[in-house]
Structure 1
Amino acid sequence: MASIDARGPYQYRARIRRKAGDRVVTISKTFTNLTDAQTWAMIQEGKVVGDEYVDRKLVQATTVRQACEWFKDRIAPKDRKTEKRMPKTAHAKNQLSRLRYWCASEFADWSLVSLKPWDLIEWRDELLSEGECAAQTIVHRLNTLSQVYVNFALAQKVELTNPVGEKVRPSLGQGRDRRLSPHPDAGGDDEETRLLKACGGGTRPWLRAAVIISLETAMRQAELAGLTWDRVMLNAEYPHCDLPRTKNERPRRVPLSTRAIAAMRSLLPENVAVLGKRKVFPVETPRAFGHAWRDVVNDENFPNLRWHDLRHEAISRLFERTDLRDNEIMAISGHLRPEMLTRYTHLRADRLGVRLG
């Protein structure tokens, strides 16, 4: 309930007392006329929910950096001995990197309530115009910031407007649509054949098998890098790989085709009775695939071809060469939304024509 006291000929003090958790909060403000005092009191009473007063002092005093530091502890607690943050998944590791970005950004010392959508739009447009990062990177950073706002508001039980809206995120455009060419070169080899020949030699003989498995399963680079033999069921009735940790933190079971099984068997080490948690590929990080790839694949022999294009190729082939439904292909690829599956699918008109008859 609001009260207004006349403190002089031109002074009116408006006061409101309400519960905020276990304590009683009193807010007041003095005006030079009664109308302004009444208007202010009505506005403040509008911020009262039932018998609880929404105290905005916390969100006004908390900076973006402080909220991000708070969120870090939720996704990557500190090790007690080393004081280093220990993310449990690749997704958490990426989140941690983005939180560090916001902690060092121009908005780090801004109050949570002072950051508005138009501030982020200006920041977004500047990054895009200068070509500092891709639209997808900006989307990832904004998604992380959005999670900070949502989780902080819920945990602290305060009202907090999230500055990250639909209009703030940049358009991702059409994305990459590079596929392996089916047309033979002068030697009669199509692009996949030439790629496998290039990857079959050198100091990394496992790279050829990795390319085949990627094309057959649509597995992500990080999923291949972390795959261990105890998760590869070659002798099951329906051979498959179990992926307990994926990009979206959801487990997935990936079926293996006859060709993928043969590639997997070619990687089995000799004279090893128990494989256990031994890695399928001799790499420490997902980036090792990129390093090995760039040693044999360049723009001269394979123009504009990237490792991630193999995943696009694999998903497109699942549509072209099988009768699987969209939700079945999503179960294999690990996509959660149909629109993301669409971005990875690039169907050839000639293949569609053959199916039409």
Structure 2
Amino acid sequence: MATIDQRGPHQFRARVRRKVGGKLVTLTETFETREAAEKWGVTRDGKVVGDEYVDRKEARSKTVAQACEWFMDRIAPIDTTTSKRVAKSQHAKNQLSKLKYWITSEFASWSLVSLKPWDLIDWRDQTMDEEGCSAQTIVHRLNTLSQVYVNIALALKIELANPVGEKVRPSLGPGRDRRLDVHPDKDGKDEEVRLLEACASSSRPWLKAAVIISLESALRQSELAGLTWDRVKLNAEYPHCDLPRTKNERPRRVPLSTKAIAAFKSLLPENVTVLGKRPVFPVETPRAFGHAWRDVVKDETFPDFRWHDLRHEAVSRLFERTDLRDNEIMAISGHLRPEMLTRYTHLRADRLGGRLG
């Protein structure tokens, strides 16, 4: 136990003396109030013997909704002129909808320390069974809630058990594996040719170029939507585009193939000498690509084909058609961890035969 000595009107000295490993350890500190001295004494006494006191009062008094609102203020502060939230990044913008979900969820009024993994497992199963929510959506919501717990614990300097622990997230399964069909139809056209022809007939003159760029660069929808001409270096020694902000909050440089360069050049506005920060595509949100896509890519002609499948096709081609190492492909695609590419490694299995002798 700590010893508290009053040494003046507003001077309280706390002293902790413990014998650890045969050695006497003494810690002292002076405070203006006895309460502060006692709190420090309890905490320090625990540090000496490895049984640190944890004050969970603040965590108990804060609800899940309050914590989510606190996190919203950090990633998307309110603009005082418009009274609207302004997300600091595309990733933050994506998190906002998940935070709003938790603020109106059944757990909104729960204390942060009351929410347990089994509560979330029950919620997960019920949401997936009764509401038909996909596993991917559940994972996104849980990941955002996990970030709330991690960040608020660090900000408050408290130990706070994260309820989004092991076995809480649902299994995502093997993932989609839709590829462009290389077999020609009765007219001798494979699926890529037919897709580009369909896009060329779209009312959006930029759609065909967007599809080509996506297939050649593996850029995400959000990255295409946020791309400006000052980031596209077509005349560089090694043409590329720079992405200062990505889904993973990490900048990256994407090399451009001959086809990608031609597609970008087809989008250059006429009679404009200085492009600057002019957007490459005339869209306001990433969803515009999906809307344009659905207008021309019908299930009867392109069964179960989504825009995001273009990125999967692009990464698959990097494995099939190049000798790039996995880490080099990661640098192009923006994947963070090698294990995220394991679903593509089978595409090079046939090359291993040459190493067997």
Q: TM-score range by the shorter chain?
A: 0.7 to 0.9
Q: Work out whether 1:319 is the aligned partner of 2:319.
A: yes
Go from structure 1 to structure 2 and tell me whether the alpha carbon gap of 1:25 and 1:240 turns closer, same or farther (over 3 Å shift).
same
Q: Work out whether 1:24 is the aligned partner of 2:35.
A: yes
Give the CA deviation at 1:24. 2.0
Equivalent residue, structure 2, for 1:332 = 332
* Alignment partners' CA distance in 2, 1:69 and 1:112: 13
What SS does the aligned partner of 1:254 have? Answer: strand
Kept after mapping to 1: 8 A contact 2:43/2:54: no
Percent of aligned positions with the same letter in both sequences? 74
AA aligned opposite 1:262:
A
What SS does the aligned partner of 2:159 have? Answer: coil
- Residues 262-309 of structure 1 show CA distances to partners (whole Å, capped at 9, x for unaligned) of 111111111111111111111111111111111110110000000000
Go from structure 1 to structure 2 and tell me whether the alpha carbon gap of 1:174 and 1:46 turns closer, same or farther (over 3 Å shift).
farther
- Residues 141-166 of structure 1 show CA distances to partners (whole Å, capped at 9, x for unaligned) of 11111111111111111121111112
Q: Work out whether 1:304 is the aligned partner of 2:304.
A: yes
Q: Work out whether 1:169 is the aligned partner of 2:173.
A: no
* Alignment partners' CA distance in 2, 1:160 and 1:293: 44
Kept after mapping to 2: 8 A contact 1:316/1:346: no
Kept after mapping to 2: 8 A contact 1:179/1:313: yes
Equivalent residue, structure 1, for 2:148 = 148
AA aligned opposite 1:230:
D
- Residues 235-259 of structure 1 show CA distances to partners (whole Å, capped at 9, x for unaligned) of 0000000011100111110000011
Equivalent residue, structure 1, for 2:71 = 71
Equivalent residue, structure 2, for 1:270 = 270
Q: Work out whether 1:105 is the aligned partner of 2:105.
A: yes
Go from structure 1 to structure 2 and tell me whether the alpha carbon gap of 1:47 and 1:95 turns closer, same or farther (over 3 Å shift).
farther
Give the CA deviation at 1:131. 4.9
TM-score, with normalisation over the residues of structure 2?
Answer: 0.84
Kept after mapping to 2: 8 A contact 1:76/1:92: yes
Gaps of 5+ in 2: 3-15, 17-28
* Aligned-pair Cα RMSD in Å: 2.8
Equivalent residue, structure 2, for 1:15 = none
Go from structure 1 to structure 2 and tell me whether the alpha carbon gap of 1:161 and 1:144 turns closer, same or farther (over 3 Å shift).
same
Kept after mapping to 1: 8 A contact 2:319/2:345: no
- Residues 313-338 of structure 1 show CA distances to partners (whole Å, capped at 9, x for unaligned) of 00000000000010000000000012
Go from structure 1 to structure 2 and tell me whether the alpha carbon gap of 1:46 and 1:165 turns closer, same or farther (over 3 Å shift).
farther
Q: Work out whether 1:137 is the aligned partner of 2:148.
A: no
Go from structure 1 to structure 2 and tell me whether the alpha carbon gap of 1:70 and 1:202 turns closer, same or farther (over 3 Å shift).
closer
Gaps of 5+ in 1: 3-17, 28-43
TM-score, with normalisation over the residues of structure 1?
Answer: 0.84
What SS does the aligned partner of 2:313 have? Answer: helix
Give the CA deviation at 1:207. 0.8
* Alignment partners' CA distance in 2, 1:96 and 1:105: 14
* Alignment partners' CA distance in 2, 1:224 and 1:45: 51
Give the CA deviation at 1:355. 8.1
Kept after mapping to 1: 8 A contact 2:54/2:159: yes
Kept after mapping to 2: 8 A contact 1:320/1:352: no
Go from structure 1 to structure 2 and tell me whether the alpha carbon gap of 1:89 and 1:269 turns closer, same or farther (over 3 Å shift).
same
Q: 1:1-357 alignment to 2 at 5 Å?
A: 1=1, 24=35, 48-50=46-48, 53-343=53-343, 345=344, 353=350, 356=353
